Structure formats: C-alpha cells, structure tokens
Amino acid sequence: MSDRFAVSADMMTVAEALARLEERLAPAVGVEDIRLHDGLGRILADDVVSAVNVPPHDNSAVDGWAFRRADLPADGILPVVGRVAAGHPLDGPLPAGGAVRIFTGAPMPDGADTVAMQEDCKDLDGRVALPVRLAEGDNARQAGEDISKGSVVLRAGTRLRPQELGVAAATGRSSLKVYRPLRAAVFSTGDEIRDPGADLPPGCIYDTNRFTATGLLRALGAEVTDLGILPDRFETIRDALAEAAVSHQLILTSGGVSVGDEDHVKPAVLAQGSLDFWRLAIKPGRPVALGEVAGTPFVGLPGNPVAVMVTFMLIARPMVLRLMGAAQTALPRYPVEAGFAFKHKPGRREYLRARLAHMDGRLVAAKFPSDGSGVLTSMTWSDGLVDIPEDRGDIAPGEMVDFLSYADMMR
C-alpha cells in the first residue's frame, strides 16, 4: 500500500503542505507531439533550444538610411547608393562612402553599422543629409540580439501562454513535445444531493461543489469525467472508485470523508488504497483527505463551498499542475492596501474574500462582509483572497496585505 501522502497528526502550515507535495509528486501523464497552433495552455515536456539566431541577421530598427559611421563627413552628406527592404538584401557589400535607403527589419548591408531615422534626415535627390551626432551602432539591431543559436528559450515544465508560442515560432519550431492532459474523475455523494434542474424534496440541496471543482480542473487544462452523484452506499462508491482508478490519473470529491455513519467515501477508499488527513492550519478549510485508490491519487476536499475553492487553490491546484508536469505551481502575490479592519488570532492562516478597487491611485482591497464558509455568493462578489499569514496579528485599514487573484488560480 502506498504511503506517499502519509503525515503525522500535527497541524501543518500551508508552506509545509506545498513543500511535501513538491517532494512527493511527479508527472503522471504521458508525452505527445503537437502542432504549435495547438499549444496554448499545454505544458512543455522538453526544453526548446533555438536552432537559429533571432534576429537571424543584423537589421535596421527604424526606417531611414544605413551607412558606415566612420565614412560620415563633417557636413553629414553621403551619396545614396542603394535601397534595402525587408526580405530584399543589398546585392553585395555597402560601397565605401555611401548610404542606402533602408526600412525597419531590413538586413543591414555588409559594412554598414549605423542607421539614421528618416525624420532626422533630409533627402537631397541622390544624396542624403544625415545627423552627425549619431554614434556607431545607433538604430541597428544585431543578429542574435534577442535569442542566440543553441540557447534554451523555454524550459520543460513551462505552461504555454501566447508569448511562449511566439518565442517558439521565432526559433522556427512548428511542433512541440508536451505532456498529455490529466484525466480527472469527479463525483459527489449524498442522498440529499440533487442535480440542478431536478426536483428538490424537503431536506435536499442542489449540488454545487461538483460543478465548481469540474470548472477549476478544466481551467487548468485537465480532462474531467463527471461521475455524477453517488448514493450513500459503500458498495456503489467502492465500485465507482475502482473503475475510475483504471482510466484516470486523479480522483477528486468534496465532503463525505469524515467518520459519520453515512460517510462511506473513507472506507471505500481504504478498501482499495490508503487515505490520510492533512490538518492544515487554515481558515476557511478543514482537514484535506489525500490518498490513493489502486495507485491513483485521491483528493477529498471539504464540503463547504468556500472551503472547496480555498483548499483547491492551495492544495489541489498545485497537485494537478505537478501531475501534469508543471515546474512552477506557486500563485503570484500582489501587495494591496487593506480597506478594512480585521481581528486575527495568530496560529492559523486566514483567507479573506476581497474585491479590489482603485482609490486615488492606490489598489485597495474591500472585504466581503461575511466570513461564513457556506456563503457561495461571496466567491462571485470577490476578485480573490487576502492572505493573512499565521504569525500576523490584527489588520488595520491602510496596512499592506498580500492578495491572491482568482484569475491566477484558474491557469
């Protein structure tokens, strides 16, 4: 039986939890070659090494005239001996003592080292008056100035954004080796849970966490199988877990892993794997259940909808990205001004739902009025979470705090 998630019963900080995940998880997916056009959001499996210099040749940064600075006379006047446009280099080297009309991106003729901007020059019908204040190399871009041949331009583990695709294209790459998407299975349990649109008998509620979790997983690039709502029966849950473990690399659920008589997820996992509870020193949130079903990682998030999003962002998100091959999983933190007062007892890390606003040139965080972890509308009202570290005391208006954006959480 695997014990990759086994921990002591001690309360764990968020930083400790993330360090353990980094240490114990490795990519769980295969590798494939894809077209560059299909690379957005995928994670590189190999370094991208440039086979060319970028730019491939010395070229002009402006429209103007190219010349050899040492040839420029005191009056700045040179004869125009040719014309160079992008894709149409000069036929041969630059004649001594001459200048050529050149356009942005056009290759510099052999022998030319400086370009004068056209607005600083005067066309004299076959000659050109150039500014004498220019230094050698002005307005000329060197071959390999951006990327040198043989250099690593993108590292394995990079999640590809539009700018990374552009860099890969600049090196001539038409395809990339990437990790395959993670296959994740999601289900809910509970005889009181109903799908949206269904009748809602007394004592029942609509399922929300399954839809939130599915959306969060898909936002990260995972392929999700929705197993629906499973009844509170041990055999049904056990069999569904076993089947999901065969064809998925992650199983995720929320709630149903405590020790109540109707909480059958825990014994169903233990019947074919292992389960450990990570007691995180956070609020909102409860112990996160981490384990394996026949070797497939299992995550049991808390049942309250706000705690689901918070613990997903902190624990499930870095897990998913690590399993998909990502090298960097940390969320960016933005310093903002607190637009609220908050009493905080040191010892637990708290995450406050907040909305950002610009006030007199300052970025200020407004706190949602309620701290209840069952208030799902607080997540649509807010832009992200203010992070109050374990060792910090009360927060006064105007103090600086760290802000985690939902936009970053979903990529």
CATH number at residue 168: 3.90.105.10
Report pLDDT for 72: 96
The pTM for the full model equals 0.86
Asked if residue 381 has pLDDT above 70, the reply is yes
Q: Which one is predicted more confidently, 26 or 8?
A: 26
> What single letter denotes the amino acid at residue 173?
R
Q: Which of 162-176, 297-311, 369-383 has the highest mean pLDDT?
A: 162-176
Average pLDDT over residues 7-16: 78
389 in any annotated domain: yes
Counting residues of the chain whose pLDDT is more than 70, the rounded percentage is: 97
281 in any annotated domain: yes
Phi, psi (5° rounding) for residue 383?
A: -100, -15
Query: Is 41 found in the same domain as 66?
Result: no
Give the model's confidence band at 259: pLDDT under 50 very low, under 70 low, under 90 confident, else very high: low
66 in any annotated domain: yes
6 in any annotated domain: no
DSSP state of 316: I
Q: What is the tens place of the pLDDT at every residue in 333-353?
A: 999 999 999 999 998 899 999
Domain that holds residue 40: 34-54+146-179
Report pLDDT for 1: 47
Asked if residue 45 has pLDDT above 90, the reply is yes
Q: Return the closest-CA partner of residue 278 out of 1, 2, 18.
A: 18
Q: Enter the tokens of residue 54.
A: 């970028």
Furthest C-alpha separation in the chain:
96
d(CA 369, CA 386): 14
Report pLDDT for 239: 95
Q: Which of 324, 354, 377 is the endpoint of a domain?
A: 324
Query: Is 187 found in the same domain as 160?
Result: no
The total domain count for the chain is 4
Least confident among 73-82, 273-282, 318-327, 393-402: 273-282
Average pLDDT over residues 381-395: 95
CB of 335 closer than 8 Å to CB of 364: no
Please, what is the average pLDDT of the chain? 93
Query: Is 320 found in the same domain as 203?
Result: yes
Place of tokens 């690590």: 322
Phi, psi (5° rounding) for residue 218?
A: -65, -35
Q: Which one is predicted more confidently, 232 or 57?
A: 57
d(CA 266, CA 5): 15
Asked if residue 80 has pLDDT above 70, the reply is yes
